[in-house]
Amino acid sequence: MRLTFLGKESQGGQSPTLYATDRETYVVQGWRVSGEITSVEIPHGLLRFLEAGTELAATLRDTGANTYYLSGAPVTDEAALAQMDLPAHETCVEVGKAKRVAD
């Protein structure tokens, strides 16, 4: 899987990051969620890096602390993981990319 860097929300040495893939999906890097290997926590601001006209094909659960929890497939592709700076307190999941529906 090839990744294209879209943006990062750095906060005190932490680095939630958004990538597009060559599979028409997104890889979302965020903080580990205790007890949930398929979930990450990301700051609200990370969503501003989504490609124009798209959204995450994942349910966002607002934590009430300016962050969301979202779930996806854990990334296990060694080539993709080698392209990332993934500290031990973070993980990443792959989620679908959906066309944004006009309101």
Over residues 38-60, the pLDDT tens digits come to 999 999 999 999 999 999 999 99
Q: What is the pTM of this model?
A: 0.92
SS3 35: coil
Question: Where on the phi/psi map is residue 12: left (φ > 0), alpha (ψ -120 to 50), or beta?
Answer: left
pLDDT attached to residue 40: 97
